[in-house]
Chain A
Amino acid sequence: MPSAKSLFQKVWDAHTVRTLANGQTQLLIGTHLIHEVTSPQAFGMLRDLGLKVSMPHRTFATVDHIVPTDQLVEPYADPLAQAMMDELRKNCAQFGITFFDRASGKQGIVHIVGPEQGITQPGTTIACGDSHTSTHGAFGAIAFGIGTSQVRDVLATQTMALSALKVRRIEVNGQLRPGVYAKDVILHIIRTLGVNGGTGYAYEYAGSVFDGFTMEQRMTVCNMSIEGGARAGYVNPDETTFAYLQGRPYAPKGAEWDAAVARWKSFASDPDAKYDDVVKIDAVDIAPTVTWGINPGQAIAINENVPHPDTATSVDDKAGIIEALAYMKLPAGEPIKGTKISVAFLGSCTNGRLSDFQEVAKYVKGRKVAAGVKAIAVPGSQIVALQCEKLGLDKILAEAGFEWRAAGCSMCLAMNPDKLVGDQLCASSSNRNFKGRQGSTTGRTILMSPLMVAAAAVTGTVADAREVFSVN
């Protein structure tokens, strides 16, 4: 009787090529996703070494970080952005890589495109030169964010050198309260375990909350695993996973479908699998959560007060609070609710999917963005945009005062023209509130769920969406 294993161990074992001289594992990477920012240097290295792409049919590209969301026609106003676009196009053509270009109608943020196309599948390994690759773990894949030299390694060999991770099972059981979303679940987890609590671990998310989650909700949580320091995060595949994948362009068809589902099921963690750590969280303890500081772990429930340095639990904690509050220009010990915002951003690989816009549209219909607030809604992919437009969500959002944009990463990291100005405070559905993250060196970010962004947009302040929209 073989010993019980977690999904991580099963996928790792199935993809292990061999042990390298330094003890690391040469791991086969079944799916390689690439984008314009972290791939050009890797292709350059490949050319310098005189190598080819090992498995072009398992390599997929899209363009997301630098694309303007208010300009579709090339050349882009920013010549550097255009140069990156041209470089990716050239590299894909030369090496025979499928490129979901803007003309394809399938372009979007790489972590939205993979699942949408059915490329992301259970029991597989995925790598991409982007830390939010952990998103794909929602399907029961082991997905790694990697650096450019590793992008080169995967291009050249379809493998990379890695050390095995420990596995921490995070169970969230019970019923989430109304107005509490997947985003709140992951912000709560990061707040609880810390921004480096996951170092050395893959997170396995489980429990009744995850069992009941849709794929889009699971993706939101897995997406931010890296913000908790975990290299990967996953949910075991189940009927929800299979139902999502069935019929998608790259999903297996016909008899192959049944064989694939049987195989996918076999990768799920065994009931008696051993974990290196187990954390249990009660769903009712999770409130709509917002960040107050300069990393995603500096978060509080909407009704809590911003911490005061005097209540710090350690010297480090105190220094962290002082630095964060100075940057955020928030008064210590005061409620965060009521803090004036100037920008509202809906979008990103965390919360730029159909259900995110549906939820917001449901509540902002007939409401107006507060005077003086700039609100933008950026679908995560061209397909998400089309789905929203078919349902008229774009019109509802536009009537409320949101600018409806074209697909891309946009103001999550502001490599395109969508940037904060000066010390603007942004209510954002994205994933990072680092100093300067949204394109202004003094710009400020408060992370929250899409509906909380909508509440902030219509009130012009950080607000409790449950009160603003009578969610109950």
Chain B
Amino acid sequence: MSLAKITSVTGRAVNVPGNDIDTDRIIPARFMKCVTFDGLGEYLFNDVRRQLDGTEKPHPLNEARFKGATILLSGANFGCGSSREHAPQAIAKYGFKAVIAESYAEIFFGNSTTLGLPCASAAREDIARIAAAVEANPQLEVVIDVTNQEVRFGGQKVKATFRESARDALINGRWDAIGELLDGRDAVKVTAAKLPYLVA
């Protein structure tokens, strides 16, 4: 299986500030009544973006100037709570190609990386600098350099880190582990044979 080598992501950014943004908020549970991930993008952040009657609430994603943004900025412990992959799926299907946040909940980070959605961690003040630049000029080009672990925007440069295993997987095109896991078939048999509870 050949996967793209994700060495950088370039695009416009939008800031959705806040800490501890949970996956229920990213995609409310009622939208998980589905047997495919198609169509989830429409419901990204639904309940903070829309009233029950569908009219829009004030939210960065509803602002015309941020339409087409492909980099999502946020706060600490982003994606906490439920393990639903529907959350990064909704983010990706909406059109985002990467996230920059202060930190991530563990399961969300893993799920996102597996989808080839880079989750860069940056210092709060650096995210604030990116957000301020984007606020001043929503058309600003933001570059996440995965290889060199930095974000470049408007002549500025800030540090953006990845867990090494994720960075390696993204830049070398092995972010979806299935191929490699399948290659380990014989080794799996050896390990399984030592575990009595796995005997059929």
Contacts and interface: CB of A to CB of B under 8 A. Distances in A.
A153 B177 contact: yes
Interface stretch (B18-26, B61-69, B136-144, B145-153): B18-26
A175 interface: no
Contact of A158 (B30, B35, B192): B192
A320 interface: yes
B196 interface: yes
Contact of B181 (A121, A160, A263): A160
A20 B184 CA distance: 9
A157 B185 contact: yes
Contacts of B34: 80
Contact of B52 (A124, A133, A226, A441): A441
Interface in B97-133: 103, 105-107, 110-111, 114-115
A291 interface: no
Interface in B79-112: 80-86, 88-89, 103, 105-107, 110-111
A397 B23 CA distance: 34
Contacts of A87: 35
Given A28-B195, A150-B110, A196 B105 contact: yes
Nearest to B167: A22
Contacts of B18: 323
Contacts of B163: 163
A411 B174 CA distance: 39
A162 B188 CA distance: 15
B30 A439 contact: yes
Contact of B82 (A20, A49, A131): A131
Interface in A318-376: 319-320, 323
Contacts of A153: 177-178, 181
Contacts of B168: 21-23
B171 to A, nearest CB: 10
B197 A147 contact: no
Contacts of B55: none
Interface string A122-157: 001000011101000000000001111110110011
A28 B192 contact: yes
B80 A147 contact: no
A75 to B, nearest CB: 14
B165 A14 contact: no
B177 A161 contact: yes
A413 B20 CA distance: 18
Given A23-B165, A295-B80, A149 B115 contact: yes
Contacts of A463: none
A188 B19 CA distance: 21
A81 B29 CA distance: 12
A156 B84 CA distance: 19
B195 A22 contact: no
A87 B163 CA distance: 36
Nearest to A28: B191
Interface in B147-187: 163-166, 168-169, 172, 174, 176-178, 180-182, 184-185, 187
Given A195-B80, A414-B30, A436-B47, A49 B103 contact: no
A22, A30, A195 pick with most chain B CB within 10 angstroms: A22
Interface stretch (A38-46, A211-219, A381-389): A38-46
A83 to B, nearest CB: 6
Nearest to A158: B188
B11 interface: no
B83 A20 contact: no
B172 A156 contact: no
A415 interface: yes
A151 B163 CA distance: 22
A149 B192 contact: no
B73 interface: no
B2 to A, nearest CB: 14
Contacts of B166: 22
Nearest to A440: B52
Nearest to B25: A435
Interface string B1-40: 0000000000000000011101011001110111111000
A21 B19 contact: no
B200 A57 contact: yes
Contacts of B191: 15-17, 28
Nearest to A165: B106
The 4 closest A-B pairs by CB, nearest first: A147-B85, A147-B111, A131-B83, A161-B177
Interface of B: 18-20, 22, 24-25, 28-30, 32-37, 47-48, 52, 76-77, 80-86, 88-89, 103, 105-107, 110-111, 114-115, 163-166, 168-169, 172, 174, 176-178, 180-182, 184-185, 187-188, 190-192, 194-198, 200
Given A14-B194, A199-B103, 9 more contacts: A20-B177, A38-B85, A146-B110, A159-B181, A196-B103, A226-B107, A229-B80, A295-B22, A413-B82
6 contacts: A24-B177, A66-B33, A80-B34, A147-B83, A159-B184, A414-B30
